[in-house]
Amino acid sequence: MTHSVAVFGAAGYTGALSARLLHRHPSFSLTSVTARSDVGRRLDDLYPHHRVPLELEELDLDRQAGVEAAVVAYPHGASAELVAALRQRDVRVVDLSADFRLRDAAVYEEWYRAHPEPELLEQAVYGLPERYRDQIRDADLVANPGCYPTAALLALAPLARAGLIDDLVIDAKSGVSGAGRAATDKTHFVTVDENLSPYGVPRHRHTPEIEQELAALGAPLRITFTPHLVPLDQGELVSCYVTGGVRTGDIELLYREMYDSEPFVELTATPPGVRDVRETNICRISVHRDERTGRVIVFSVIDNLWKGAASQAVQNLNLMFGLPEGEGIS
């Protein structure tokens, strides 16, 4: 017995990868993939390496009768209405956009626009399984975390919970797939190749999401978060500079206690590289004391399309449907 699932917005990178993972998933049955562009085109024509032999359809919720679960991979702002319609039909949703990540509609409005479905915000659970596993199991609407917040929060949670973050700078680096499939001057090969540059300075939209979850962990503070674009396709490295962390003697112990039983978090003594986690649901973390300055430096790497989006969505679906957490993504 499998659960029927649909992916809405499957023409983009994260939607297409979600479709691939669910198409091969033993406990889900991918019944349809929709898109706003490329309707009528087969997904395995658009993304040959995903090998999903389904045709992209126009959105028509009436043809989705019986679907139990949905991954929504719409842009920020465009997602909320579709999510609301799906919830009305009792479909359980994992939303890849930012629309349900911020619990406070006023904060959402400050960084995005007026929230179109504020009453749904209460239902939504923030889909970081290492943090909210139990709530996700019971959730009908899961807000899949942003890629940077996923890497940053896993890197910082042990310090935040222990009250060891006085001040924080996050310098993040991402491959180009994080910018999405839109073909622009900024994603043109010739622009990116042999280049390296900051973007979203000084107010990137992932900032309030990280701050919200750090506060929930006991570390309410304003952070500096700066992402950079690097010439590679998939992969994300987050370098966290923490003032205050060295107060505790055995920092590594904090990390081992939190993560030793986590199936998708790896601790490593030497700084990780993004290649170590390419095409996996794994977050790999190293922690370092800088005795000269009294800072703790934490590095964390994920694949932005996997743990930063699609495979984490499947991890959440697995939890929601009572399946083994790593099914289809290990």
Binding site for a copy of itself (CB under 8 A): 13, 48-49, 167, 169, 171, 173, 175-177, 181, 183-185, 187-199, 201-203, 207, 222-224, 226, 228, 230-235, 237, 239, 241, 243, 268, 271-280, 284, 288-293, 295, 297, 299, 301
Q: Which is nearer to a copy of itself, 1 or 189 (CB)?
A: 189
CB of 31 to a copy of itself, least distance (A): 23
Kind plus residue range of the DSSP H or E element containing 299:
strand 295-302
196 token code pair = 């390296």
Among residues 142, 147, 153, 223, the one annotated as catalytic is 147
DSSP string, 74-127: PPTTTHHHHHHHHHHTT-EEEE-SSTTT-S-HHHHHHHS---S-GGGTTT-EE-
283 as an active site residue: the answer is no
CB neighbours of residue 88 within 10 Å: 9
- Please tell me the distance from the alpha carbon of residue 297 to that of residue 313, in angstroms, as a whole number: 28
Q: Are residues 284 and 272 in contact, defined by beta-carbon separation less than 8 angstroms?
A: yes
Q: How far is the CB of 120 from a copy of itself (least distance, A)?
A: 28
Q: How far is the CB of 300 from a copy of itself (least distance, A)?
A: 11
Q: Which is nearer to a copy of itself, 78 or 179 (CB)?
A: 179
Nearer residue to a copy of itself within complex by CB, 88 or 184: 184
In this structure, are strands 69-72 and 92-95 parallel, antiparallel, or unpaired?
Answer: parallel
DSSP 21-32: HHHT-TTEEEEE
Residue number, 234 or 318, with CB nearest to a copy of itself: 234
CB of 205 to a copy of itself, least distance (A): 13
Residue pair 55/41 in contact by the 8 Å Cβ criterion: yes
In the complex, the smallest distance separating the C-beta of residue 150 from a copy of itself, rounded to whole angstroms, is 16
Q: Which two tokens stand for residue 24?
A: 């091969």
Q: Decide whether 4 or 187 has the Cβ nearer to a copy of itself.
A: 187
Element (H, E) at 239: strand 236-243
Would you please indicate which residues are annotated as catalytic (active-site) residues? 147
